[in-house]
Structure 1
Amino acid sequence: MDAGAAEGEVGFDNPAHVAGALSDVLPAIGAALGVPGLSGPGADTSNASMRDGLGQLHPVRRACLFLVDGMGSELILKHADAAPYLAALLRNGPQDIGPQGVGRRLTAGFPSTTSTSLSSVGTGLPPGAHGMLGYKLMVPGTGRLMNFLKWDQDVDPLRWQPRETMFERLHRAGVEVTHVSSPRFAESGLTRSVFRGARFCGAEPPDVRAERALQAMEGPEPALVYLYYSDLDFVGHAAGTGSQAWRDQLGYVDALVQWFAERLPQDSSLYVIADHGMLDVPTEHRIDADTDLELRAGVALLGGEARARHVYAHPGAARDVLAIWTERLDGVATVRCREDAIAEGWFGPDVDPRMRDRIGDVVVAMREDWAVVASEREVVESRLIGMHGSMTAAERLVPLLEVRG
């Protein structure tokens, strides 16, 4: 989606993964840390999309990449009174570097969801290359769906995502890499799939994690710390982004980022990003695929999530499913067959042939604040207030904020 498009638009003229995308962040930080082959005319492009999407970041010895789940740039500006420090950083463009830092907007890939975006960050690859193409996908040859935040014990994370991660690459180049997050993520499939190569440090609560991240930046060697915060996303889903509970969470993140920035060691930088934004979906804009007989016809499995669906058809029914979903969702969604979604660049400039069968026979990107829920198959997800996954500015535009020590 073009970064200048209005909220609610769905567009494919400037796919997120071409320039200024989440997949560009760690390669750019690696180049700032002095790792060869990650920027400039001789850059190795075998493990990333475009090295020049972010331009050159300021050279540093140590860096912390702080990812706040669900903190879209549009939400920061909309609630600037609750997040004055973050909003001030975001409003400082690259030409306005000052003592506070600098901010810009990036675009998340499609779907704009945690498993996909974290994979783009961790691998430096667009979705079509790393294969984490949604919240829930069919595992080819099994006839069953896998939730990538929960994983399936029968699926080997290293086989599902076989590409070298940026953490492995940086570690191989002599950078000390630390992943600081909640202890419950230590051995998750997602961690093993896209964050391998980093030393995992589990800590609770979030302020203790921030302290651990700072401690990991104190050594003399080049260092990268990846710090993850999930509570803002959780509250947004449960209470909505217009709730006081969500604004309180945003205020906490704002204070935590400022606390961290004020304690940065010399010759270091803090980078704050998000995996996606979020919007609230009203009850009257929810179409229930479990009670809608038209949308059930010919469908074997319903993957993805309410704002970005992968629809897997019964053998021989794909064409009919495409026609039905296109007509039924006319005006509230963009609907494509797998081949057209790939050709239009929904998942990046190229899709690895090994990943194609993971994509639904029909792919759906919801417009405005509409959603296709499944009240019987996805009881909890169907009750969420805040949702994400599609291509609106509220979901796909995310911040990249830089503060130098």
Structure 2
Amino acid sequence: MLPNDCVVPNDSVVPNDCVLPDYNGAALCNLLPSAVAALGLGDSSAALQLPSSRQICVLLIDGLGCAALHEHRADAPVLSSLLAGKHPRAVTTYRDITAGFPSTTGASLASIGTGLPPSQHGLVGYRVLIPERGRLMSLLQWDDSVDPSDWQPHPTIFEQLHAAGVVSAHVASPDFAASGLTRSSFRGANYIGAATPGELIAALAAVFGQDGPRLIFGYYPDLDKTGHGQGVNSPAWRHQLAVTDRMVERLVTELPPDVTLVITGDHGMVDVEPSGKLDLDLAANLLDGVALLGGEARARHVYTAPGAAGDVLAAWRESLSGMAWVVSKAQAIEEQWFGPDMTDVVARRLGDVIAAALPGSALVATVKEERQSALRGMHGSLTTAEQLIPLLTVRV
């Protein structure tokens, strides 16, 4: 049976177990501006107020959400001791922050790299419309016809640091070095390829062992990969969390006294059972008037045929009551789902109808998105399990 314990309003009431991102405060887009301020190089009133430091190393663990981390804290004793402020060698601070909407890797990494919300950097979904071409683009695979610096024209935090003569580095898989996402959101950083956890630790330690102020960003993808395939409540995910915890322990041991380590995630994750998945490819009433189906199973951009937006909105609201929070593009912009001050360029990339899945639900498309539809662990929506991510600072 599909979940039906949450009534979805037609107005601006936030459904139970959902939260709108705090873009002006505790949000991921404020992380690197706050890190720059902590280096003594930016606005001292930065939203997240990180401790002053000579160097800052940010480790982003893809898929690390607060809910799953706390539920399985026994599998992560090092992270748990850091969160509780009880690590024998480290002084820590901890708070929850919101990922942003959609709570998906492409949008979140762009928010980190630019210091801007999706409403301004323009990476607004897993698969979004290229308005000039009338087709969809995946932010993770990109489209060769789209110049990343045109799609996201704002200076990144790393470009700003480079202009100020400050060293920055981006440590991640060699596979991502020339990706559209990297070129749109992390240009300006010295890219260092690291294919394994050991290479990641060694590369991060080598950079923050050098002199002078610097900002280092490291990206670890394996927890997210395991969660997608097996689910966040699976033995495999718990084992992967334990592996991640061991990596964090090794990194803490490499930390010099004048370097702050910041650990965070890009989104949380929820498990969706087959009974909670609605197959849009088999729901003719929901595809009537739909030109393109974008986004992903838990955060849909619905692009409608001319003149059909009102009817599609009504049909999706009626049919998906209890499964999704469905709003118009205008409502999403007004309520700042994607952030404040949305530009017209970015607004054209949004769906005419936007659907954020509620707990236990997913709007899959088994024909057009066969692989993604089969995933056990999913993210993208506004539930607290997907939105709330840890912000942990560590000093030794």
TM-score by length of 1: 0.92
- Residues 232-254 of structure 1: CA deviation (Å, up to 9, x unaligned): 10110001111111111111111
Q: How far is 1:100 from its partner?
A: 4.2
- Residues 266-298 of structure 1: CA deviation (Å, up to 9, x unaligned): 211110010000000011110010001111111
Q: Which residue of 2 aligns with 1:363?
A: 354
Q: Which amino acid aligns with 1:33?
A: L
Q: Which residue of 1 aligns with 2:31?
A: 25
CA RMSD, 1 decimal? 1.7
Structure 1 residues 298 and 7 mapped into 2: Cα distance closer, same or farther (>3 Å)? Answer: closer
Of 274, 289, 296, the residue aligned with 2:280 is 289
- In the alignment, the residues of structure 1 paired with residue 353 and residue 250 of structure 2 have an alpha-carbon distance, to the nearest angstrom, of 46
Q: Which amino acid aligns with 1:10?
A: C
Q: Where do 4+ consecutive residues of structure 1 move more than 6 Å?
A: none
Q: Which residue of 2 aligns with 1:89?
A: 82
- In the alignment, the residues of structure 1 paired with residue 15 and residue 238 of structure 2 have an alpha-carbon distance, to the nearest angstrom, of 20
Q: How far is 1:86 from its partner?
A: 1.1
Q: How far is 1:103 from its partner?
A: 1.4
Gaps of 5+ in 1: 1-5, 41-50
CA contact (8 A) 2:125 2:295 kept: yes
CA contact (8 A) 1:174 1:222 kept: no
Structure 1 residues 222 and 98 mapped into 2: Cα distance closer, same or farther (>3 Å)? Answer: same
- In the alignment, the residues of structure 1 paired with residue 15 and residue 202 of structure 2 have an alpha-carbon distance, to the nearest angstrom, of 37
Identity %: 47
Match status 1:152 vs 2:160: no
Q: Which range is displaced more, 218-227 or 374-383?
A: 218-227
Match status 1:252 vs 2:243: yes
Match status 1:9 vs 2:17: yes
Of 317, 325, 335, the residue aligned with 2:326 is 335
CA contact (8 A) 2:139 2:180 kept: yes
Q: How far is 1:264 from its partner?
A: 0.6
Q: Which amino acid aligns with 1:184?
A: D
Q: Which residue of 1 aligns with 2:184?
A: 193
Match status 1:322 vs 2:313: yes
Q: Which residue of 2 aligns with 1:74?
A: 67
Q: How far is 1:353 from its partner?
A: 1.7
- In the alignment, the residues of structure 2 paired with residue 399 and residue 390 of structure 1 have an alpha-carbon distance, to the nearest angstrom, of 17
What secondary structure sits across from 2:36 in the alignment? helix
- Residues 10-65 of structure 1: CA deviation (Å, up to 9, x unaligned): 244xx3212111011101111111113x223xxxxxxxxxx22x13x221111110
- In the alignment, the residues of structure 2 paired with residue 196 and residue 237 of structure 1 have an alpha-carbon distance, to the nearest angstrom, of 28
- In the alignment, the residues of structure 2 paired with residue 293 and residue 224 of structure 1 have an alpha-carbon distance, to the nearest angstrom, of 50
- In the alignment, the residues of structure 2 paired with residue 8 and residue 284 of structure 1 have an alpha-carbon distance, to the nearest angstrom, of 21
Q: Which residue of 2 aligns with 1:43?
A: none
Alignment of 1:252-401 (within 5 A): 252-401=243-392
Alignment of 1:168-207 (within 5 A): 168-207=159-198
Structure 1 residues 158 and 97 mapped into 2: Cα distance closer, same or farther (>3 Å)? Answer: farther
CA contact (8 A) 1:7 1:394 kept: no
Structure 1 residues 114 and 231 mapped into 2: Cα distance closer, same or farther (>3 Å)? Answer: same
TM-score by length of 2: 0.94
CA contact (8 A) 2:15 2:325 kept: no
CA contact (8 A) 1:71 1:232 kept: yes
- In the alignment, the residues of structure 1 paired with residue 44 and residue 340 of structure 2 have an alpha-carbon distance, to the nearest angstrom, of 19
Structure 1 residues 185 and 321 mapped into 2: Cα distance closer, same or farther (>3 Å)? Answer: same
Q: How far is 1:141 from its partner?
A: 2.4
CA contact (8 A) 1:120 1:127 kept: yes
Q: What is the total number of aligned residue pairs between the two structures?
A: 383
- In the alignment, the residues of structure 2 paired with residue 203 and residue 117 of structure 1 have an alpha-carbon distance, to the nearest angstrom, of 21
What secondary structure sits across from 1:259 in the alignment? helix
